[in-house]
Chains A and B, each alone.
Chain A
């Protein structure tokens, strides 16, 4: 049964990693990275590494995405300048 959990978690991690790379807007990427952090934490728990899971949880699901969000906010504050923003806001629905 542990094996089944590990396989599902592995596939979840692979999917989350792919989604994190394919989301080109850093604002969206930050939330996917936070999901990836949690998925990795689950995988590490199933691999009997709760210490590493704790570490990954705190860093991957909170600190890294938060810093990315803050950088995005800083970088995009100056109005009307060309950023590397390649997703217009309206595309999301």
Chain B
């Protein structure tokens, strides 16, 4: 339990990169990138967790309760939404590539370049 969350984050990162490397379809590759991204959220939140801590939201908790780290949560929170728009940008690029070159296979695309 003491290192499992960190190792799971590492595994998600590796499997995501594996998908990116072996992908034959750019849309699939963008999906793999989304998976890779999620590994950072798991790692950040795992680092910020404290045993017996609760969320640093004091609307329904006393202000002296033991809380988990809010800074890493704020980092992960904004990145998730911003990451989604970046995913959209990548998918838009895929649509354009498909229009110009008629394929979404990265290997076929690099052959086109020569």
Residues of the B chain whose Cβ atoms lie less than 8 Å from the Cβ of A84:
24-28, 103-105, 108
Interface mask (B3-20 → A, CB under 8 Å = 1, otherwise 0) = 011001001100110110
Interface residues of chain B: helix, strand, loop or mixed (majority)? helix
Residues of the A chain whose Cβ atoms lie less than 8 Å from the Cβ of B104:
75, 83-84
**Interface hub of B46, B73, B108 (most chain A Cβ within 10 A):** B73
Given A21-B16, A71-B27, A83-B25, decide whether A49 and B91 contact each other with a Cβ distance below 8 A.
Answer: no
Instruction: Check A21–B25 contact: CB distance below 8 A.
Output: no
Given A24-B28, A33-B34, A60-B80, decide whether A7 and B19 contact each other with a Cβ distance below 8 A.
Answer: no
Instruction: Check A18–B8 contact: CB distance below 8 A.
Output: no
Interface residues of chain A: helix, strand, loop or mixed (majority)? helix
Please report the C-alpha to C-alpha distance between residue A84 and residue B39 in the assembled complex, in whole angstroms.
26
Please report the C-alpha to C-alpha distance between residue A18 and residue B14 in the assembled complex, in whole angstroms.
10
Nearest A residue to B53, CB-CB: A48
B65 to chain A, nearest CB (A): 11
Nearest B residue to A74, CB-CB: B95
Given A33-B34, A36-B35, A83-B103, decide whether A68 and B27 contact each other with a Cβ distance below 8 A.
Answer: yes
Cβ-based interface call for A3 (8 A): yes
Please report the C-alpha to C-alpha distance between residue A52 and residue B46 in the assembled complex, in whole angstroms.
13
CB contact list, B23-54 vs A, under 8 A = 23-28, 30-32, 34-35, 38-39, 41-42, 45-46, 48-49, 53-54
CB contact list, A44-80 vs B, under 8 A = 44, 47-52, 55-56, 59-60, 63-64, 67-68, 71-72, 74-75
Could you tell me which B residues sit within 8 Å of A by CB distance? 1, 4-5, 8, 11-12, 15-16, 18-19, 23-28, 30-32, 34-35, 38-39, 41-42, 45-46, 48-49, 53-55, 57, 67-68, 73, 76-77, 80-81, 83-84, 87-88, 91, 94-95, 98, 102-105, 108
